[in-house]
Structure 1
């Protein structure tokens, strides 16, 4: 029986390394990964030549903000940007939309807003906030991929942080579900209001110690409750030591970092009004950045995801004391990371491990996403790893073209993206995902 599509590349990035290969697709799934010249029969064939063939990236940290704050972003614009950046699966955060996803009814509202609008596949995180422990079990049964919580102010009043006692209660319930908790870890006792709008004062207001003490608290809770935990958007390299020690002791804790922490540094911020660089936790100095790369190479950090967190241009105006904190990079994450990774001697295989396989494993999607392997969805990316471009904000697909990468030259261009074997075009063909092991958890 002929396949629907065969894609050949001399640089296919496979789980066992990079090599020439031919990938066959039928009914949206990969049916064969064969030698480059294998005589495969298909209705259509694409020869990429020396373009790299990557698995579609998986971004488990995206703020789409719809419904309720669709003027900040939205499913149509965010998923178009994702596809342009080689991301074929994303998992949407439970906050900044209204209502936040802290109960099953809010999840239904979120799914209704996304239905028919997405250009890539989309899943959803739930939220753990004060008072919603009774909602965690039904949210888990409804298919969320895990539960996000904050240890400090989230920036929006409808998603407050958990107190230490609240974390203990929520973590125990999530552990009983064999669920996953993902944590924005900053210690509020170590944070302060910036003394001015300058970047240096904003940076000083959110020191590395704030992250480390919060991470150490999470590690203690993991040890006491047995919950699986994941540290979000790690920016402070001081956290690598306790994380490595916890993992050596066999504790189920992992961590991610983001393209902006790996590719930018505090010295890159040109002026107090360059608020496209503002995010929480903040972009730190070059030595810290080098240490994050070391933590990534050593496996202490297992994922690189964007934390795409846009807002309206009005909220980005002002200075570092007043502007909204969030970096928009969904379309640029792959070339930004590849530009820095290749300069440090890393391979495309490394980037795929960090940006596709690692996030896929975090979300429990390994059997479907993040790898070019028989049986997986045919989510694929044609990537020109040696082609450079200058970032023009007007070329970005997300709703508001505000980015700290404006006018930077990056290397690596996404030439085409396939979702389940079909080229992503202007027609939304994405599906809404539930946690693959979803099962009823009522008593």
Structure 2
């Protein structure tokens, strides 16, 4: 059924073991009663094959139809116990409390709704048993013919069942919440592990070519150092730098994966957007030198996290450097809009096809593109920011990151840094 919560596989497996033990215990109890009362208790033996068949079906079908298997099993248990109570002692014996086994199991496995439902079923079976006794169908063994003696026992027993049902529903609700939280946490760990293995494997492949180039340059320098002219030395130096840059890019790829794993641990704070952009421009100055860069970010304060915000801006600028030709105009600015401080990074490069823009922030498969922009999206979400990409009317690409706007007078650690740097030496 749509929207139904998946049952915990560990609880399902253990419930199967409990059923097997319970069936064996019931068979032993019937054997003991046979030894005491002889063949008079033969109807109780009918429950033995019923429990055996239901338990066998549970083990063979619960992995495919877990909800149905549990409900059918608990229903069969309730009927077998009801038959045993009707045959032995009836409502005056207190044996109706055996229904608590069914109620607790329903709560643990299926949740509070099932605990409530099976409580109602078991109370109904107990009242039907009382009605049958009053109509002249008393228990075969240990029957109490006096209604005034049976009613108090039945009342206490029903009160116990209802209490068990209430407690099972209450505790089951919290138990299933914890199971759900554990499932989410486990899936997060599995997802991080798959992502990390994928990118580490890809990086190990991609780094082989620049390492080979480094090895070739080293061999050339070792074999022909005295013979190399100025031009050849410059060529080798250029190859060396390109190879180092490629290795550095793969190391950055792995660092991006680590940052993505820690995105959930971000604690938002007030940051100065101007300072974030300035830091990233300084860090990328050498690579940005080939582009026509213009930065005019007003002194905005936003809600973010310094390291995460720097990673976002750094990756957006690096994205322009890697995917646009030399001489591309790059404009970084910011504006306020409806309570948001929006960072705008625009370039007039070749742009991004519409089909690619739709998948731009999706995690790549193994062997695909770099993780930079998916990382940017995750970091933005962790900071409560939003990011989108659009194509300006004049062409190129434009990335917009909408942070939550902070009051201009809000204190920030960047204020302290700016003040310290303003002090003359």
Could you say which TM-score interval applies, normalised by the shorter chain? under 0.3
Q: Which has the higher strand share?
A: 1
Name the TM-score, length of structure 2 as normaliser: 0.19
Name the TM-score, length of structure 1 as normaliser: 0.18
